Amino acid sequence: MSKPRSREVLDVLRRDGARGLAQRAARVAYRRTGAADLEDPLDFDNITDSRGLKLAVPDRRPSRGTPLTIGWVTTPPSPGSGGHTTLFRMVEGLEEAGHRCVLYLYDRYRGDLGRHEQVMRRFWPKVRAEVRSVADGLAPLDAYVASGWETAHVLASSSVPTRRLYFIQDFEPWFYPQGSHYVLAEDTYRFGFRAITVGPMLADLLRDRYGVQAAIAEFGCDTEVYRLTNPQRRTGVVFYARRETARRGFELGALALREFHRRHPEHEIHLFGDPNVQVPFPATNHGVLRPQALAELYNSCATGIALSFTNLSLVPDEMLACGMLPVVGKSDYSEASIDNAYIRWASPTPFGIADALSEAVRPEAPSPAEVAGSIRATPWGLAQRVTLDVIENEVYGG
């Protein structure tokens, strides 16, 4: 015999508290209202099929040296977004070279453009680009750059005559289980856009799987922010804990940290990225951190988990620059993107990661000064130069 609903509610409230009760209520509302429809990142009318795709191009090419107008199609930026930070660095590079840039925001949920622009101006003040909405239509600019699989579909579905490029920071089919979103993301690599990848891992994947030859914009590291300020021996572990971002391996990292805490309870565990996340072990949650505050946290800890299953992230280099030993999950392609003797490559299992963390906090582990001294001094200017050259060659020809 089932419990009365009121008794069930009281049981949940007693066992899991108000937060647990609210979560269950939200889950029920999510199912009953069909809110899963909001998980579709793309309007049906913007979905394109690579088969038989004919992309309109301009009749003429501008003379080399003529200032260009470049459109960048992206989703609305959110504070702390690493992907937008890297993309906007490329925009800055084009603007510094004398070209005009226009950001076209694709907002599936029709949010307020002014609010999105305020976020961008506040967190990326160096970007001068005009901000427009994809919903208002794409103007016939010299070139457009898609920045993700959704925006690649948007750009392919437009009949505007232009040169089309694709700035690829992740292998985005891996964002999803095998299904519609997986194959729609994968199909964008067959659209014929000129490709630029961040790091060689993605270039290798595109070449091996789709025969796409991509230019490589190497990872950079902002060493003005991420640098050694505390050369002393340290304790503690850092983890970017984002449950809603599957590629960051939240559950895997949490399981590893629970085991690490069992072995090394003397080490404080620090979380950042989401102020609402909860874990089954003692931890300090710092919420969303600005780069300078994050660099300070890195300078106070011995090691950290740097999981990213669709491409290497910026985190390993930034941790190294601050004197930390990053624990990075092994994959078939990941080691092609970074070569540093102080990275602790781990089997992507809870015990594999916990073992690597334990090794990183041993008394005989390398000093922070040794670790920071190993960082590859790759400025973002090199990636900006590659991006600039590829766009100019695509538009001017040659």
Identify the structural domains of the chain with CATH numbers, from first to last: 44-220+381-396 (3.40.50.11090), 237-373 (3.40.50.2000)
Residue 13 has what pLDDT? 67
The better pLDDT of the pair 312, 57 is held by 57
Task: Show the tokens assigned to 391.
Answer: 């766009």
282 φ, ψ to 5°? Answer: -65, 130
Residue 331 has what pLDDT? 73
User: CA angle 374-215-43, nearest 5°?
Assistant: 110
pLDDT one-digit tens code per residue, 362-373: 999 999 999 999
pLDDT one-digit tens code per residue, 33-60: 655 555 667 788 889 999 989 999 999 9
Residue 132: Cβ-neighbour burial (10 angstroms; 0-12, 13-18, 19+): middle
pLDDT band, residue 333 (cuts 50/70/90): low
**Structure-token match 């690649």, residue found:** 152
Residue 1 has what pLDDT? 46
Q: CB neighbours of 206 closer than 8 A, spacing ≥ 6?
A: 168, 189, 195, 197, 212, 213, 214
**Which amino acid does the sequence have at 128?**
R
Average pLDDT, the chain: 89
pLDDT one-digit tens code per residue, 6-22: 776 676 667 777 776 66
User: What is d(CA 2, CA 8) in angstroms, rounded to the nearest whole number?
Assistant: 9
Residue 29 has what pLDDT? 67
User: What is d(CA 111, CA 173) in angstroms, rounded to the nearest whole number?
Assistant: 26
User: What is d(CA 127, CA 362) in angstroms, rounded to the nearest whole number?
Assistant: 43
Please state which of the ranges 130-139, 276-285, 310-319, 349-358 shows the lowest mean pLDDT: 310-319
pLDDT one-digit tens code per residue, 223-267: 889 999 999 999 999 999 988 888 888 999 999 999 999 999 999
Q: How many CB atoms lie within 10 A of CB 320?
A: 26
The answer, yes or no, to whether residue 31 has pLDDT greater than 80, is no
pLDDT band, residue 219 (cuts 50/70/90): confident
The answer, yes or no, to whether residue 337 has pLDDT greater than 90, is no
**Structure-token match 């299992």, residue found:** 349
Residue 9 has what pLDDT? 64
Share of the chain above pLDDT 90, in %: 68
Task: Show the tokens assigned to 376.
Answer: 């590859």
Per-residue HEC secondary structure of the chain comes to: CCCCHHHHHHHHHHHHHHHHHHHHHHHHHHHHCCHHHHHCCCCHHHCCCCCCCCCCCCCCCCCCCCCCEEEEEECCCCCCCHHHHHHHHHHHHHHHCCCEEEEEECCCCCCCHHHHHHHHHHHCCCCCCEEEEHHHCCCCCCEEEECCHHHHHHHHHCCCCCEEEEEECCCHHHHCCCCHHHHHHHHHHHCCCEEEEECHHHHHHHHHHHCCCCEEECCCCCCCCCCCCCCCCCCCEEEECCCCCHHHCHHHHHHHHHHHHHHCCCCCEEEECCCCCCCCCCCEECCCCCHHHHHHHHCCCCEEEECCCCCCCCHHHHHHHCCCEEEEECCCCHHHCCCCCCCEEECCCHHHHHHHHHHHCCCCCCCHHHHHHCCCCCCHHHHHHHHHHHHHHHHHCC
Residue 229: Cβ-neighbour burial (10 angstroms; 0-12, 13-18, 19+): middle
**Which amino acid does the sequence have at 301?**
C
pLDDT band, residue 26 (cuts 50/70/90): low
Q: Which of the residue ranges 51-55, 141-145, 344-348 has the most confident prediction, judged by mean pLDDT?
A: 141-145
Decide if 330 contacts 304 (C-beta within 8 A): no
User: What is d(CA 352, CA 380) in angstroms, rounded to the nearest whole number?
Assistant: 32
